[in-house]
Amino acid sequence: MSPPGRSEAWDVAPVALLRLDEDGTIVDANRVLLEWVGRDAQEVLAGVRLSQLLSVGGRIYWETHLAPLLHMQGRVDEVAVELRGAGGRLPVLLSAVARTLDDDRRIVDVALSKATERSRYERELLAARTAAERSTDRLRALQATTAALSQGVGADGVARALVETALARLGASSAAVWVTAEDGTLVRRATAGSGWGGVEGATVPPDEPWAHGLHTQAHVLTTDPGEAVQVHASGVVVVALGAPAAPQGTLVLVPRADEADEPLDVGVLTAVGLQAGLALERARMFDQKASVAHELQIALLTTNLPPDDRFTVITEYRPGVQALEVGGDWYDAFLLDDDVLAVAVGDVVGRGLHAATAMGQLRSAVRAVAGPGVGPAELVTRLDRFVGQAGVGFMATLAYAEIDLTTGRVRYACAGHLPPLRFAAGGTHEFLWEGRSTPLGVHSVRVEATFDLDPQDLLMLYTDGLVERRGRPLLDGLEDLATAGAALRESSVSALVSGLLTHAGDERDDVCVLVVSWSPPDRP
């Protein structure tokens, strides 16, 4: 006799059907279920519980979640579990309804449908999602690397950007970039992470673990010149920067030691190597052009003062790190006669060839109009006429001073320029705010001022690139200069400039500095 509610389609249903009593014991099952679990009806209907036909995880889930839900809610729908089938585990979807019969017996009708195709689909979907996420991560890593390389200025800037990106985006715990020198050897230009001793500029040492089988000549970066990326036995990864047959250098990576981290992606590293090679090639061209520009600027600023025990002039010029073109900052020092030294620092508006040309003309004009008896105020007045007639140097600034080498008396004028700074031998300092007027080419009454230098006092003239910073008050920059300049006697002008630029964290503008000291002449 069929169980209550059982239809003729029970055994031919496309899903496994079974009926449970109140405690989960199977009281009936169709042929599909028997085939799936590989048992006959007598065995299954001899007191077997449904939980016994499930995997361990499914059994626990039935007892802790599904059975209580059926008791409270009366049904569950499409819950994924696994049957212990004749051929192994069989993924199924379980749906069940609890109901009460006319004789007050409570039973549970269960339907199990195969989920093999669904599981396969879900696995494929998960694999596709994982692949898409990896592809996205790779793309983001490449985009971050490209952005970092594009911001690097010069070969050193590109090398620093590459090692920093390797740690942040490429999965390395430490990295070093070796760039090909003119003689073909690899020279270390940047490092990040631990394990890189020594200083930048070292060539490839023969005892480096990753260098075994690796020639120090740049045309052979790996044991196989055709390989863009090679993983060495030590775990170190070597990446050719540029085409493997003719690379610009090499990137050496040490992967992270955490087992949870995925291995370095060879495809990403290959693309990074090609991008970095192009960036290094551009950086070499930039460095060459910047070097030529810098040499031209230095040539324009060269001074030829005769040896004289009565004075010392020290100058320093620093081009902005982003400056490929020559700029408009300049300095000069020359003798008006045997006993008067003229010093000047100026700044022409703008950059490039136009500014450099105006700077050269203005610097020459200062020498042309200066002379014994002219004086600073008259010199600036004559420069105004030159600017108006020649059409160059409008709104340029100038600090000009004449030092009497017999007495130490200084006459000076500032045309829109920052005030000269005097450091007394006793350690005090003074900004010279007198003798000021408008920039060149702007008509105004030109004035001058005087003061006396004591023996071994220092007088500093400088351009605004040393003290002016966006977002910082000018007076703060001047105070930093005065504080740093107090140590000039124990250091150097070059160290002073380097310290101020490093402290400010901004080297985009050119910097000119001139420091002069006076010693009274020996009397017979």
Phi and psi, residue 466, nearest 5°: -80, -25
Residue 305: count other Cβ atoms within 10 Å of its Cβ. 12
Question: Mean pLDDT for the chain?
Answer: 80
Assigned CATH for 302-518: 3.60.40.10
pLDDT confidence band for 507 (50 / 70 / 90): low
d(CA 513, CA 464): 10
Task: Give residue 211's pLDDT.
Answer: 47
Burial of 349 (0-12, 13-18, 19+ CB in 10 A): middle
d(CA 2, CA 235): 69
Q: Is the pLDDT of residue 119 over 70?
A: no
The answer to whether 408 and 518 are in contact (CB under 8 A) is: yes
pLDDT confidence band for 209 (50 / 70 / 90): very low
List the structure tokens of 1.
């006799």
Burial of 383 (0-12, 13-18, 19+ CB in 10 A): buried
Task: Give residue 358's pLDDT.
Answer: 83
Q: Is the pLDDT of residue 339 over 90?
A: yes
Summarize the confidence of residues 32-46 as an average pLDDT. 88
Among 77-81, 111-115, 185-189, the least confident range? 185-189
The fourth-level CATH superfamily of domain 135-290 is: GAF domain (3.30.450.40)
| Residue of 283, 416, 404 lying closest to 348 (CA atoms) | 416
pLDDT confidence band for 259 (50 / 70 / 90): low
List the domain boundaries for the chain.
16-114, 135-290, 302-518
Task: Give residue 1's pLDDT.
Answer: 35
Task: Give residue 297's pLDDT.
Answer: 60
Q: Is the pLDDT of residue 366 over 90?
A: yes
Say which residue, 213 or 228, is predicted with more confidence.
228
d(CA 514, CA 316): 7
List the structure tokens of 132.
């898409």
Task: Give residue 422's pLDDT.
Answer: 93
Nearest-10 Cα torsion for 213, 216, 218, 222: 10
Q: Is the pLDDT of residue 107 over 70?
A: yes
Assigned CATH for 16-114: 3.30.450.20
Summarize the confidence of residues 383-388 as an average pLDDT. 93
Task: Give residue 124's pLDDT.
Answer: 73
d(CA 461, CA 27): 104
pLDDT confidence band for 7 (50 / 70 / 90): low
Topology agreement, domain 16-114 and domain 302-518 = no
